[in-house]
Structures are given as C-alpha cells and as structure tokens.
C-alpha cells in the first residue's frame, strides 16, 4: 500500500487547480485510482466488514414480481459472502460465497440457480474472484491492490452513464475474459458509484436466460436463436462515514438480457423473452469489529 500512499500524496499536489467536476486537466488511470482511494478514507484496507440491511428483489421481465427479506454482506480478506433471505417457496434465498479463488453460488431449488446466480456462475465467472463484485463494500476491492492483480486499466474520460457524466475506467483482468468491464466514478468526489459488465453471446452458442412462467428460474436450453446481450450493473449510493471510511449504504445489482437478430452494433437490441430485474440492499449497519466464523466462507 506504500505505493498508493505516494500516488495519493502526489495527486494532492498535481490537482489543486482541477475544477470540482474533475475536468480541468486530463486524468490518467493511476491518478483516478489514487483520488478514489483517498476519497474512501485514510486507511481503506480493513481486516473484515459486516454490512446488514433490507434486501429486495424486483423482476419486471421474465419471472415473478417483488420479494423482500434480510440481506447481509460478510467480507474478510479475499473472502466474501453475500446473502438475501427471501423465504419464497421457489426462491428461498440468494447466496454467493467466495473463498480465495474458489466460488460457490447456491441453488434456489435442486440443480437450479436464479437468474443472478446463473449470470455470475456462467457468464461472469471472474467478477467475485477479481475483487470487483460488491465494489468497496468488500475487503478485497480490486483497486486496493491493482499491482497484485496485474490487471490492465485505461482511463476513458468523462462518459455518460445512466444520464450522468462520470469518469470511466476500463478494467481488464490478467486472466482474459470475454465480457467488457467498465468502472465509473463521480467527478466531484471520485467515489466509485457504478460498475458495468456486458457480454454478447453469438446466436446458437451457450445457454441463455429463459422465461419461466412459474418463477425466476432457469432451464436447460439450446443456444439462443439470436445474438444475446447480457448486462450486469452494480450501483452504489447513499454514502456515509463509518469508522473513518466513506462507504455506500445502498447497493443495487441490475441484470438485463436482450436479444437481437444481428451482432451488437450499439443499437437494435430489445427485450424479447429475456429478463430484466434488480436486487438491492438498503444497508442500515456496517461494522468492522465483528468476529466472522470460518464456517461463513466454507464451500461444500
């Protein structure tokens, strides 16, 4: 972390004339990351973290409507556990466990994962291990030690994302992936407020999400007849100070699947027998003093 400390100190000297929108001069990727880590707090690395709150599910295309229940994020080093307790007969819970480089995502019924679980397990398999999934709410956030990960990053300037002008950072893991990764930061605060992961599956390849009338589940299927675009978006908001750190207290995961008859050219995709929904946690408590039992991260 000494390297980052130097970069952060340098950034304070380099950017005193920058406007509040961060556009007075062109940023480099390292500068943006340093400013982001400074915005998190003086000591962003913590041994563990427990975040608790109310979790909700809202499916608008491809399944049932709304569910709610307790939600929790447990993090310790390179371990992570995220859970939603819905208590529904067809969707009792959503559970992801990462233990180092190992990952497990629970079935919601025997042999079947939810849309979110399937997207993370099949389509975006490296997000949790890379320290991207969950953002700064985890203790292994990818940007805390980019050198260790040997990932490549590139600053792409101020871009419009969900009707906001944000700093965009392209992220490429050392282990190549087929999907596109973009991280977004507020110009005024340099807080990490969104991540976007997008994958285009050519027609006839792999498994797509399925529309099942009875609920939010998947079934075996041949590859999609049309090209399929799957996009997973994480957004972070309602930042508050906790133990000297500025952390989000509203975390949303949005999953969309759409199909088109041609390759993705930036237009022409529209939901058709696809999926659209989001999971979110309104966090009411974050602690760095809990003792987390090893069993919480056990992978069976």
Residue 264 is predicted with a pLDDT of 36
How many angstroms separate the CA atoms of 91 and 85, rounded?
9
Model pTM score: 0.83
CATH number of 2-9+27-297: 2.50.20
Domain chopping of the chain, boundaries: 2-9+27-297
pLDDT the model gives residue 7: 39
The pLDDT of residue 2: 36
pLDDT value at position 236?
A: 98
Higher pLDDT, 13 or 171: 171
What is the sign of the dihedral through the CA atoms of 194, 200, 206 and 212?
positive
With 60 as the cut, is the pLDDT of residue 4 above it?
Answer: no
The tally of CA atoms less than 13 A away on the side-chain side of residue 7 is: 18
Is the pLDDT assigned to residue 12 strictly greater than 70? no
- 16: pLDDT strictly greater than 60: no
Beta bridge partners of 195: 183, 234
Mean pLDDT of the chain: 83
Q: What is the mean pLDDT of residues 64-73?
A: 92
- Least confident span in 2-11, 53-62, 265-274: 2-11
The pLDDT of residue 215 is above 60: no
Q: What is the mean pLDDT of residues 217-224?
A: 39
At residue 274, the pLDDT reads 81
Tens-digit pLDDT profile for residues 72-89: 999 999 999 999 999 999
Q: Span 210-231, mean pLDDT?
A: 50
If you average pLDDT over residues 23-51, what whole number do you get? 89
pLDDT at 112 over 80: yes
- Give the pLDDT of residue 245: 97
Higher-scoring residue by pLDDT: 80, 21: 80
Question: Which of the two residues, 59 and 70, has the higher pLDDT score?
Answer: 70
Residue 290: predicted pLDDT: 85
Q: Is the pLDDT of residue 190 over 50?
A: yes
What is the model's pLDDT at position 15?
A: 42
Give tens-digit pLDDT for 262-297: 433 333 333 346 889 999 999 999 999 889 999 999
């Amino acid at each position: 972390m000494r390297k980052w400390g130097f970069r952060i100190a340098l950034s304070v000297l380099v950017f005193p004339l920058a406007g509040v929108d961060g556009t007075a001069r062109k940023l480099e990727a390292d500068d943006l990351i340093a400013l982001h880590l400074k915005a998190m707090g003086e000591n962003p690395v913590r041994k563990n973290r427990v975040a608790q709150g109310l979790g909700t599910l809202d499916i608008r295309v491809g399944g049932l409507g709304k569910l709610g229940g307790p939600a929790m994020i447990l993090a310790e080093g390179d371990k992570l556990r995220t859970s939603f307790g819905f208590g529904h007969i067809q969707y009792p819970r959503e559970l992801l466990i990462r233990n180092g480089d190992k990952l497990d995502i629970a079935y919601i019924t025997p042999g079947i994962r939810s849309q979110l679980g399937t997207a993370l397990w099949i389509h975006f398999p490296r997000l949790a291990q890379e320290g991207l999934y969950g953002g700064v709410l985890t203790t292994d956030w990818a940007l805390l030690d980019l050198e260790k990960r040997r990932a490549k990053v590139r600053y792409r300037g101020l871009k419009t994302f969900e009707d906001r002008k944000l700093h965009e950072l392209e992220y490429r893991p050392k282990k190549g992936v087929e999907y596109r990764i973009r991280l977004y930061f507020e110009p005024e605060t340099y807080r990490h407020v969104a991540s976007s992961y997008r994958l285009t599956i050519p027609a006839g390849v792999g498994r797509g999400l399925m529309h099942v009338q009875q609920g939010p589940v998947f079934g075996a299927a041949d590859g999609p007849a049309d090209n399929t675009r799957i996009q997973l978006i994480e957004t972070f908001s309602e930042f508050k100070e906790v133990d000297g750190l500025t952390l989000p207290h509203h975390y949303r995961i949005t999953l969309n699947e759409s199909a088109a008859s041609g390759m993705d050219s930036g237009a022409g995709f529209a939901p058709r027998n696809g999926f659209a929904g989001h999971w979110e946690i309104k966090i009411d408590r974050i602690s760095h003093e809990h003792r987390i039992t090893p069993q919480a991260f056990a992978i069976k």
